[in-house]
Amino acid sequence: MRFKRLEDQDLAGKRVFIRADLNVPLDQRGAISDDTRLRASLPAIRLAKEGGARVMVTSHLGRPEEGVCREEDSLAPVARRLAELLAAPVALIKDWIHGVPELQPGQVVVLENCRCNPGEKKNDPDLAKRMASLCDIYVNDAFGTAHRAEATTHGIAAFAPIACAGPLMAAELDALGRALAAPARPLVAIVAGSKVSTKLSILQSLAHKVDRLIVGGGIANSFLAAVGSDIGASLAERDLLDEARTVIETMRARGAEVPLPVDVVLAKRFAADAEYRIAELHPGEVCVEADEMILDIGPRTARALAQTLESAGTMVWNGPVGVFEFDAFSAGTETIARAIASSKGFSIAGGGDTLAAIAKFGVADQMGYISTGGGAFLEFLEGKPLPAITALMERS
Ligand code: ADP
Ligand code: MG
């Protein structure tokens, strides 16, 4: 992937427009309850500020109606927190589309919620042109919205004099490129979580690329059903068994495989305190009772997968392999997480619940890269071109 980078630009005195992802959660009183995204966006803002640029930062927040900006849509709390983090005044500019007052070199302002501007979501070219005219350098640092073609993520990149990636965006693209464009082999993907339907295109796309495709969770249940195993009352999508078989065949045609669980953890209730048992799965035998649910992979399966991961050159991980929220069913996911953490291979992990699992087991520091992307990360794994990234590449 070729794109321009903020750190390579001559910034002194330049008007720099940063599209960041400052979509922080707010509590009922409108205070920021978690400022992780804001802090993740600081390197770009600091780089521009310290380089002597006149810095404008914008983001979406929540889901406002275009043309209306209610109090709860306002980036005011974000501007206040940013001022604290930068130890410098940060003004909030409303109605910025009609012009931003001249800023001093090194000054930072926040431009009000970009999704309040009519035309933002439709990627209106007139809006994009007007925004581009506010700056000398456009910076996209919002990987989390890279899968959306909106005026601040896509349109503006075509019209701004220079369009480049901020450090957070660049780190994402470097990590994803390293994992999927030219990976060290063997390349192992873990695609797990609750449903095949939400990840079918990822499974199909990765089946053409990876050396091993590990499935887990409800997805593994569907794959087990697809090869004729009894899965009792487990979460599975029985209308997608053909699709699961196609994924297995795609891998097989390339001499690769989809290892399926050889043992599982079973319970009759979906609850933290449910009684459970470990069962071996033998093809052709009923190993799971009709009223039992598979809620985790068993220890033998987990150990075998851990070995595969420890000798992997590259690992891409999305989705917990069991109901890791309940301690009784978290061992499989923990074993996988620790195996990835201790493997010498390069790893990239993403997905809301995957990140929660990584945090629960305290292995965040040992992951090669943790994607902040959510939906954008998943679409990248699907092999879809992400509009915001395409726009940056076109301006490289
Ligand atoms: P991510 O957010 O990382 O992409 P998903 O949303 O696809 O992951 O899936 C995560 C959810 O899947 C978790 O809440 C977990 O409890 C659930 N899950 C995992 N394995 C099973 C299983 N065997 N049965 C039911 N739910 C499962
Ligand atoms: Mg999820």
* 373 noted as active-site residue: no
Catalytic entry in 46, 121, 129, 195: 195
**pLDDT value of position 374:** 85
Among 126, 134, 88, 131, which residue's Cα sits nearest to residue 107? 88
d(CA 389, CA 374): 15
Ligand 1 touching residue 322 (CB < 6 A): yes
Is the CB of 319 inside a 6 Å radius of any atom of ligand 1? yes
Q: Which of 191, 194, 292, 381 to mutate to test the pocket of ligand 1 (most atoms within 8 A of CB)?
A: 194
Q: Which atom of ligand 1 is nearest to the CA of 220?
A: 23
Residue 157: name the closest of 129, 179, 176, 182 by CA.
Answer: 129
Helix, coil or strand: residue 160: coil
Nearest to 247 by CA among 284, 215, 216: 215
CA of 374 to the centre of ligand 2 (A): 9
92 lines ligand 1 (CB under 6 A): no
Q: Which ligand is nearest to the CA of 236?
A: 1
Q: Is position 94 annotated as part of the catalytic site?
A: no
Site to substitute for ligand 1 among 201, 317, 323, 324, most atoms within 8 A of C-beta: 323
- Find, among 40, 173, 151, the residue nearest to 96 by Cα: 151
Reply yes or no on whether 352 is catalytic. yes
| Closest C-alpha residue for ligand 1 atom 10 | 193
Q: Is 37 a catalytic residue?
A: yes
**pLDDT by residue for the chain (396 residues), tens digit each?**
899 999 999 999 999 999 999 999 999 999 999 999 999 999 999 999 999 999 999 999 999 999 999 999 999 999 999 999 999 999 999 999 999 999 999 999 999 999 999 999 999 999 999 999 999 999 999 999 999 999 999 999 999 999 999 999 999 999 999 999 889 999 999 999 999 999 999 999 999 999 999 999 999 999 999 999 999 999 999 999 999 999 999 999 999 989 999 999 999 999 999 999 999 999 889 999 999 999 999 999 999 999 999 999 999 999 999 999 999 999 999 999 999 999 999 999 999 999 999 999 999 999 999 998 888 999 999 999 999 999 999 999
Ligand 1, residues 353, 370, 381: which to mutate, most atoms within 8 A of Cβ? 353
Q: Whose CA is nearest to atom 4 of ligand 1?
A: 351
Non-local CB neighbours of 164 within 8 Å, separated by 6+ positions: 3, 4, 5, 6, 8, 9, 137, 138, 139, 140, 392, 395
Q: Is 232 in the pocket of ligand 1 (CB under 6 A)?
A: no
What residue has token string 């799965």? 281
C-alpha distances in angstroms, 396 versus 115, 174, 328, 390?
A: 27, 15, 50, 10
Give pLDDT, residue 284.
Answer: 85
Q: Exposed, middle or buried: residue 67 (CB in 10 Å: 0-12, 13-18, 19+)?
A: exposed
pLDDT value of residue 283: 84
Rounded Cα–Cα distance for residues 115 and 266 (Å): 46
**Structure confidence at residue 373 (pLDDT):** 86
Which residues have CB less than 5 Å away from ligand 2 (the ion)? 352-353
